[in-house]
Amino acid sequence: MLSLELQIALQEIGEDLVDFVVDAIKNKPIKRTSLRKKGGNYVSTNFESPVNASGRLARSISYSLSDKAISVTGEDYINDLIYGKPPSSVGLSDIVRWVEDKGIESEIEIDQLATLIKDKIEKFGDSIFLYNNGNDSGLLENVLTDQKKSEYIAKLAPIILQELIKTWQQT
């Protein structure tokens, strides 16, 4: 069982990690490739933008503590934002919600626009996948830097050492 002091320190670290992940989701520009049909051919354009379309993912980030770990979790689709969505089946309702969340305006009906987007993702993958070819987009890169690890160790080490000494003295 963790001592109250260690639980508090781990909670502070958990909250810190959540803040870093949420900041990356909201603000970190991720490299992408957009495909547009022009004259019968697809033309690619590279761009960068954060992945926070609706804020739903950022709001879902949380942490939990066990006796052995701090776990940071969020919506399952975070993996699609890290590695991109490869060519695969996509739910039309998910695309409609994304278009609405993003506030995309178009001259065509939202269902028709969502169908075009869905078809392109199913054929080519999403913009993150197209740019990174299924490799890590770097979304969560630098969330847990060596400096942060050192800070966390410096925070936890004296508490853990104190608990070990107490345990040894009791035996």
Q: Quote the pLDDT of residue 104.
A: 86
Query: Would residue 136 count as lying in a domain?
Result: yes
Q: Quote the pLDDT of residue 15.
A: 97
Query: Would residue 105 count as lying in a domain?
Result: yes
Q: Quote the pLDDT of residue 16.
A: 96
Q: Are residues 118 and 136 in the same domain?
A: no
Q: Quote the pLDDT of residue 170.
A: 82
Query: Would residue 159 count as lying in a domain?
Result: no
Range of 95's domain? 87-124
Q: Are residues 131 and 48 in the same domain?
A: yes
Q: Are residues 79 and 129 in the same domain?
A: yes
Query: Would residue 31 count as lying in a domain?
Result: yes
Query: Would residue 29 count as lying in a domain?
Result: yes
What are the residue ranges in the chain where pLDDT is below 70? none
Domain count, the chain: 2
Q: Using an 8 Å Cβ cutoff, are 4 and 163 in contact?
A: no
Non-local CB neighbours of 111 within 8 Å, separated by 6+ positions: 92, 96
Q: Sign of the C-alpha dihedral, residues 52, 118, 35, 80?
A: positive
Q: Quote the pLDDT of residue 166.
A: 84
Query: Would residue 12 count as lying in a domain?
Result: yes
Query: Would residue 65 count as lying in a domain?
Result: yes
Q: Are residues 63 and 103 in the same domain?
A: no
Q: Quote the pLDDT of residue 118.
A: 95
Q: Quote the pLDDT of residue 114.
A: 93
